[in-house]
Amino acid sequence: MARMTHRYLVGLLLTITPCILQGQAANVGASLQPAPGTQQPVLFGTNTNLENSPGTKGTQLGLGAHQNDKNTKKKKKHGEFAVAPIPLVNPSIGNGGGLGILYAVHLGGDPSSEPSTFGVGGFGTGKGSWGAALGAQLHLKNDAYRITIGAGGGEFNYNYFGTGSASGSAGISIPLSQQSRGFLIEPKIRFLHVWYVGPRYHLITNNVSLNSTKFNPGTLPIPLPSSLNLRTAALGGRLQRDTSDSPFYPKKGSIFDALADFYGSAVGGRLTYQNLTLGYNKYLSFGPKNILAIRGSACMTTNQAPFYDVCELGQSQDVRGYQVGQFRDDRMLVGQMEFRRELFWRLGAVAFAGAGAVAHTWGGFGSSEPEPGGGLGLRFVLAKQNHINLRADYAWGNNSKAAYISLGEAF
């Protein structure tokens, strides 16, 4: 699907949510405010990440690091479910609800590997938006191989603000309806102990139209974007360095993630363009219950990319507090940190803050004001063995606010 679809779909599912399906339909279940992400959300988009955010461990189910014998001896062999209803309160796609189901298990009973994760989910709203997806993150042969695969589709009714920082700041939008179907597969192999590399392929079909009879197409406050009905396909690659200690609730280590997609007719698409996404997460523990998580990321797409595949601010793993897609352009720089505290029983709390900006070129960031965002959240441990949390966040941006509910951490 497109980036927007990706954020919504994946966010919900896996949060899977961005978890298993990156989360770039970016945040269907994850973003309760008008969206773009995610990674909502689009099930598959330029920064398509069946894992909800490029290289983010907390939202990417099953992307565990190869661990030492001391840690692996503590792991249990049986599987574990995480099931959660996900309410949606979203002015963009409408109010409604969804359901996300995750199953984590050591395939073949091998406790030395990170658990493989299987996910399925769906949602619907009163405004006619809906989405459904399923996916898996497989860890095989003592975590020597990781395979991500997923598929999904839906109809997403949302607000389009145009492209560029100025368009997002103006706050003027038109309603669009986007029907998307997508498929992604990404196998990786481990080398040098903590590095993973492999190819990736995804195919997405999108049909976008004006979602209102009140507007005259010739006098819209924002021109309709081009490439409304399009099939996109990309063959690319992914490189990760993963030293985090958990795929669901990392307390130490880091994740470097580099993703490149090359779109074109030779692999089944109709447009030729490229995307590059870089991400880095760092996890620091302060005592047994306190964690500081830090994330920085950058995104770049070439000029030929359709509007739903350019870089978009507002995904959970980047800056929360904005409609995903309100700020979009060919370049993006973002940074965020989050303090996580385990309270008592199965409860936890977080506080987070960050900022991000979009621009047409790298040089354009000099004249582009970063958009700040921050907020507070609560956590409830649904699956104790793997520490899979139900996440509820409320965030404030610059004259904006958003709520998020999903499975798994934001990053």
pLDDT at 109: 64
Q: Is the pLDDT of residue 59 over 60?
A: no
What average pLDDT does range 205-227 have in this prediction? Answer: 80
What per-residue confidence (pLDDT) applies to 378?
96
Does the pLDDT at position 270 exceed 60? yes
Structure tokens given for 286: 């302060």
What confidence category does residue 48 fall into, taking pLDDT thresholds of 50, 70 and 90? very low
Q: pLDDT confidence of 110, banded at 50, 70, 90?
A: low
Count helices and strands in the chain by DSSP H and E runs = 3, 18
The pLDDT, as a whole number, for residue 77 is 53
Contact assessment for residue 390 and residue 361, using Cβ atoms and an 8 Å cutoff: no
The predicted model gives 99-112 an average pLDDT of: 81
User: What is the 3-class SS of 283-299, one letter each residue?
Assistant: EEECCCCEEEEEEEEEE
Q: Give the model's confidence band at 296: pLDDT under 50 very low, under 70 low, under 90 confident, else very high.
A: very high
Give the DSSP per-residue string, 6-68: HHHHHHHHTTT----S-SSS--TTT--SS--------SS-TT--TTSSTT-TTTSTT-PPP--
| 379 neighbors 363 (Cβ within 8 angstroms) | no
- pLDDT at 51 > cutoff 90: no
- Nearest Cα residue to 3 out of 32, 55, 38: 38
Q: Catalogue all structural domains in the chain, each as residue range(s) with its CATH number.
A: 5-407 (2.40.160.50)
Q: Tens digits of per-residue pLDDT, 64-79?
A: 333 444 344 444 457 8
What's the pLDDT score for residue 291? 97
- Position 94 scores a pLDDT of 67
Judge whether residue 61 has pLDDT over 60.
Answer: no
For residue 176, the model assigns a pLDDT of 87
User: Are 95 and 89 in contact, with CB atoms under 8 Å apart?
Assistant: yes
What pLDDT, on the 0 to 100 scale, is given for residue 247?
Answer: 87
pLDDT exceeds 90 at position 366: no
Q: Which of 9-23, 288-302, 310-324, 358-372 has the lowest mean pLDDT?
A: 9-23
**What pLDDT shows up at residue 17?**
31
CB 88 within 8 A of CB 52: no
Is the per-residue pLDDT at 13 higher than 50? no
Mean pLDDT of 118-126: 91
What pairs with residue 6 in β-bridges? none
Of residues 275 and 39, the one with the higher pLDDT is 275
Q: How far apart are the first and last CA of the chain?
A: 22
Which tokens go with 79? Answer: 């599987």
pLDDT at 91: 58
Q: Which residues contact 5 (CB under 8 A, 6 or more apart)?
A: 25, 41, 42, 43, 44, 45, 131, 154, 156, 178, 180, 182, 204, 206, 308
User: How many other C-beta atoms can be found within 10 angstroms of the C-beta atom of residue 351?
Assistant: 14
| Percent share of the chain, pLDDT over 70 | 78
How much of the chain is in helix, strand and coil states, percent to nearest 5? 10, 50, 40
CA 101 to chain centre: 17
Does residue 9 carry a pLDDT above 70?
no
Q: What is the pLDDT of residue 112?
A: 65
| Structure confidence by residue, pLDDT tens digits, 140-176 | 988 899 999 999 999 988 888 888 787 777 778 888 8
Residue 267's SS3 state is helix
What's the pLDDT band for 244 if we cut at 50, 70, 90? Answer: very high
Could you count the other beta carbons within 10 Å of the beta carbon of residue 296?
17
Which pLDDT band, with edges at 50, 70 and 90, does 138 fall under? very high
Identify the weakest region by mean pLDDT among 126-130, 137-141, 230-234.
126-130
User: pTM score, two decimals?
Assistant: 0.79
What confidence tens digit (pLDDT) does each residue in 313-360 have? 877 788 888 877 788 899 999 999 999 999 999 999 999 999 999 998
Q: pLDDT at position 255, please?
A: 97
Least confident of 279-288, 295-304, 361-370: 361-370
Q: Please, which residues have CB within 8 angstroms of residue 132's CB and are 6 or more apart in sequence? A: 9, 121, 122, 123, 152, 153, 154
**CA–CA dist 333, 335 (Å, integer):** 7
Kindly provide the b/e burial profile for residues 371-384, where b requires at least 16 CB atoms within 10 angstroms of the residue's own CB.
bebbbebebebbbe
Range with top average pLDDT, 59-63, 221-225, 392-396: 392-396
* Residue 410 clears pLDDT 50, i.e. is over it: yes
Query: To the nearest 10°, the Cα dihedral for 248, 251, 253, 259?
Result: 30
